[in-house]
A and B are shown apart, each in its own frame.
Chain A
Amino acid sequence: MATIAAAPPYTQTKPVPAQTGLWSWLTTVDHKRIGALYLISGLFFFIFGGLEAAIIRAQLATPNGRLVTADMYNQLFTMHGTTMIFLAVMPMSAAFFNFLIPLQIGARDVAFPRLNAFSYWIYLLGGIFITAPIFLWMAPDGGWFGYAPLSTKAYSPQHNMDFWVLGLQILGISSLAAGFNFITTIINMRAPGMSLMRMPIFTWMSFVVQFLVVLAFPVITVALVFLQFDRFFGTNFYTIAKGADPLLWQHLFWVFGHPEVYILILPAFGLVSEVLPTFSKKPLFGYPVMVYSGILIGFLGFGVWAHHMFSVGMGPIADAVFSLATMLIAIPTGVKIFNWMATMWGGTIRFTVAMKFAIALVAMFTIGGISGVMHSSAPADLQQTDTYFVVAHFHYVLYGGSIFGLFAGIYYYFPKVTGRFLSEKLGNWHFWISLVGMNLTFFPMHFSGLLGMPRRYYQYDAGQGFEIFNLMSTAGTAILIVGTLFGLINVIKSWKGGAPASSNPWGAATLEWTIPSPPPDYNFAEIPTVKSRYPLWNMADGEPLVHETTHAEEAGRRIPTSQELGIVMPNPSIWPLITAAGLLVMFCGLLFMDSSVPTAVGVMLLGTVWWVGALYKWLLTPLEDHH
């Protein structure tokens, strides 16, 4: 056709986009580099949120601690929760979505590479927007679930909660854009032969998570829009005197908030489901059941939100329904625990650091799961809600679950990402110290909680039996910091100096291990045709199960460039970053609503013109050169 003939022919001599330097990172659309950016940013915020927690624990080490004021304490626990959930665990999960999904399904990138870059940049800018105010003593201070009416202007008149409301809106855009992108990628970019039931389990769990994201985030978006309108435009959504329902926010928030819990844990479940089979030299036990239980967890996750609200007095019917629904979720979750154990049963287990973190997840998550079942019962929950018992519960599932799972994933996939192993020696220190520190921090909270110590109080009096448990928790935090430092040093040292790794250093089974470590920009020189769930494990014809490769075998092998192979890769683009920056400016405009409406409108208009203009520029620039 005429349009194609008129296009400039694709030439082999076109200069290769730079692979190093700041500009290459700002303009990258490569899913692997975006994954690395997510991981580094996520780790940074993980440390930042950890330091906030360290100050909290130092304050609570002794009765009537005087390290920080009540006001500062409110900011610290709010930002600790917000940071860990939205800026650390979700982005670190996103790092794995980005890096792994295309590799596991045999694709060269995600469906929309520039949208993917946009998701990252809007996350980073949103993260800075919501975090930076802490240096001005103006950080959000209404708790990570920002209950309205407490978070309305009447009760939070300062800018603190403005940053939270707007920051969460910005971060929501990132998650939603990534959700559309990954769903499309997984549905439409699987290599020939990769049916849904041949997909690696991590990709499956990520698939479920993306559906949770695109269905749950709009609900919090609406809740935040109401709060935003109440705060900036004087609407009445949360004004009780005008007849507003004080539970509206709670319902909307938890309709999002409970699926969010599974958004945080399912990626970690997916990662350990990759690690455990490899280091047990056995296929995952009950793969279909693992898939179905993941889907069921996601589905039921939308029907249990009100178990966060038993104490508000919804009545016996609602309490009973939500209790039962919550108990139901224990079934697919329990299925997963048993299947992991059955995967290891009878296997040839190699206790690498990745494997230890994965096994620790199974054990620690079970503890957190059991306390979760305890407060699924409404009468028990009335005793436990808003005490440290709940804090113990969700740290067992989030630290012992999500974080340990992500660490397992980092140790397992580091050789694929960088071409170098993390040190097993430093890793062992990291693992054992963290395991001890984590349990010493969070286990005593079960006791202080059942003794009645409420969460979010900045001081407690002596003589109530809380002292010893708080001292243990604080000591545990110090140990946890030491353990995390070992991990951090390990990552920094091994990034350039670790032992070189081969394509398939662990003898794993899935597609990402068929390509070089680190993978070339095009991932697969040839798109593979998939014939089984474990393409690298030849189980049919009696060959040995595991095909490990060594670095020595691969030494001297030259990896051809995409140009030599004639593979057209997407061009780098700065427009996703510029679009994201314009959106940030638009949201910042609302901050001026109190002081000067014309300024606010002006800044918002500027931001709107900025991002719409950048978006048009982006959409009108072709993704790649023509063939």
Chain B
Amino acid sequence: MTASTAPTAAHGDGHAHGGGHYTTLGLDHRKIAIWTFIGSECMLFASLISTYLIYKGRSPEGPFPHTAWTNPATGEVFKPILNIPVTSASTFVLLMSSLAMVLALAAVQNRHTPKHTLGDRILGSSKLWLWATALLGLGFLMFQAYEFTSFIHEGLTIRTNLFGSSFFTLTGFHGAHVTAGVIWLLTLLAIDYKRGLGPQDALLVDIAALYWHFVDVVWIVIFTLVYLIQ
């Protein structure tokens, strides 16, 4: 650790956010808290995903995710519900948002390095990459809104059957996390416009990025287990 984190006991160190204060690990408190939070969130999504998998194939009535179903009472035929090409596209969008997030953090950290070329200026623009992250996240949410409405048109709601309940709840929880992340990113953007995010604020962006990447990783798991594996 650097000298700035060495204990200088008499001057009120060892409390508050750890920004500039002595901390045992030399890390800011918020960094540890966000990892703890992510650990907790893992259990939340583990429970949601387990329930989805336990209930997969248990529903006596359709529509079903991967197979067609004919309603024995009405003779109505339902296509397999999941639209894998569209969701692959939305997954790509979300993955790209993580890339933009990495660039946003780098831009904030390197705010004061001199920028000579157009490439430097583009890569060094925290506003550009925060906007890109937020808009790609928003794009993912619009894909999800499209997906949900088309499923409802095809005859699957959260009330229809076990698949509908567990699918909408799981993906809806993920969507809610993306929404919270987008709001978080927009808040960072507002701060950036107000006073400019510099290296001293890197932690603010860093913890948002950790959350964002986590939500992204959860989606990769959901996409694999819910959409790809039949």
Query: Do A108 and B14 contact each other (CB < 8 Å), given the known contacts A237-B51, A243-B58?
Result: yes
- A379–B195 alpha-carbon span in the complex (Å): 68
Cross-chain contact of A219 among B23, B36, B43 (Cβ < 8 A): B43
Max chain B CB contacts within 10 Å: which of A222, A244, A616?
A222
Q: Which residues of A, 218-253, contact B by the 8 Å Cβ criterion?
A: 218-219, 221-223, 225-226, 229, 233-237, 242-245, 248, 252
The reply to whether B29 and A237 contact each other, CB–CB distance below 8 Å, is no
The reply to whether B16 and A623 contact each other, CB–CB distance below 8 Å, is yes
Shortest C-beta distance, A500 to chain B (Å), equals 28
Query: Do A215 and B200 contact each other (CB < 8 Å), given the known contacts A187-B24, A527-B14?
Result: no
Q: Which residues of A, 173-208, contact B by the 8 Å Cβ criterion?
A: 176, 179-181, 183-184, 187-192, 194
Whether, in the assembled complex, B67 has its beta carbon less than 8 Å from a beta carbon of chain A, the answer is no
Whether, in the assembled complex, A552 has its beta carbon less than 8 Å from a beta carbon of chain B, the answer is no
Q: Which residues of B, 39-78, contact A by the 8 Å Cβ criterion?
A: 39-41, 43-44, 47-48, 51, 54-55, 58-61
Residues from chain A with Cβ under 8 Å of B166 in the complex? 237
Cross-chain contact of B24 among A3, A189, A525, A565 (Cβ < 8 A): A189
- A84–B181 alpha-carbon span in the complex (Å): 37
The reply to whether B162 and A236 contact each other, CB–CB distance below 8 Å, is yes
Residues from chain B with Cβ under 8 Å of A179 in the complex? 36, 40
Cross-chain contact of B59 among A192, A234, A243, A569 (Cβ < 8 A): A243
Max chain B CB contacts within 10 Å: which of A1, A527, A529?
A527
Whether, in the assembled complex, B139 has its beta carbon less than 8 Å from a beta carbon of chain A, the answer is no
Residue of B whose beta carbon sits closest to that of A236: B165
Binds A, one of B3-11, B92-100, B217-225: B3-11
Whether, in the assembled complex, B25 has its beta carbon less than 8 Å from a beta carbon of chain A, the answer is yes
Residue of A whose beta carbon sits closest to that of B49: A222
Shortest C-beta distance, B6 to chain A (Å), equals 9
Number of A-B contacts (CB under 8 A): 162
Residues from chain A with Cβ under 8 Å of B164 in the complex? 235-236
Whether, in the assembled complex, B116 has its beta carbon less than 8 Å from a beta carbon of chain A, the answer is no
Q: What count of chain B residues pass the 8 Å CB interface test?
A: 47
Residues from chain A with Cβ under 8 Å of B10 in the complex? 525-526, 565-566
- A338–B81 alpha-carbon span in the complex (Å): 60
Whether, in the assembled complex, B15 has its beta carbon less than 8 Å from a beta carbon of chain A, the answer is yes
Cross-chain contact of B27 among A188, A242, A522, A570 (Cβ < 8 A): A188
Cross-chain contact of A188 among B24, B195, B200 (Cβ < 8 A): B24
Whether, in the assembled complex, B169 has its beta carbon less than 8 Å from a beta carbon of chain A, the answer is yes
Residues from chain B with Cβ under 8 Å of A236 in the complex? 159, 161-162, 164-165
Whether, in the assembled complex, A624 has its beta carbon less than 8 Å from a beta carbon of chain B, the answer is yes
Chain A interface category by residue count: 35 or more
Shortest C-beta distance, B171 to chain A (Å), equals 14
- A184–B59 alpha-carbon span in the complex (Å): 43
Residues from chain A with Cβ under 8 Å of B12 in the complex? 108, 522, 562, 565-569, 627
Whether, in the assembled complex, A51 has its beta carbon less than 8 Å from a beta carbon of chain B, the answer is no
Whether, in the assembled complex, B147 has its beta carbon less than 8 Å from a beta carbon of chain A, the answer is no
The reply to whether A235 and B165 contact each other, CB–CB distance below 8 Å, is yes
Residues from chain A with Cβ under 8 Å of B11 in the complex? 566-567
Query: Do A527 and B9 contact each other (CB < 8 Å), given the known contacts A111-B33, A214-B40?
Result: yes
Whether, in the assembled complex, A112 has its beta carbon less than 8 Å from a beta carbon of chain B, the answer is yes
Query: Do A226 and B51 contact each other (CB < 8 Å), given the known contacts A219-B43, A566-B11?
Result: yes
Knowing that A255-B47, A526-B10 are A-B contacts, what are 13 other residue pairs whose CB atoms are under 8 Å apart, sorted by A's residue number? A180-B36, A189-B23, A214-B43, A218-B44, A233-B159, A242-B60, A243-B59, A244-B58, A245-B55, A245-B58, A565-B10, A566-B11, A567-B12
Q: Which residues of B contact A (CB under 8 A)?
A: 7, 9-18, 22-25, 27, 29, 32-33, 36-37, 39-41, 43-44, 47-48, 51, 54-55, 58-61, 158-159, 161-162, 164-166, 169, 173, 187, 195, 200
| CB pairs A–B below 8 angstroms (20 shown) | A3-B200, A107-B14, A108-B12, A108-B15, A109-B16, A180-B36, A180-B40, A184-B32, A188-B25, A189-B14, A189-B24, A191-B14, A192-B7, A214-B39, A219-B44, A225-B169, A236-B159, A245-B55, A526-B9, A616-B187
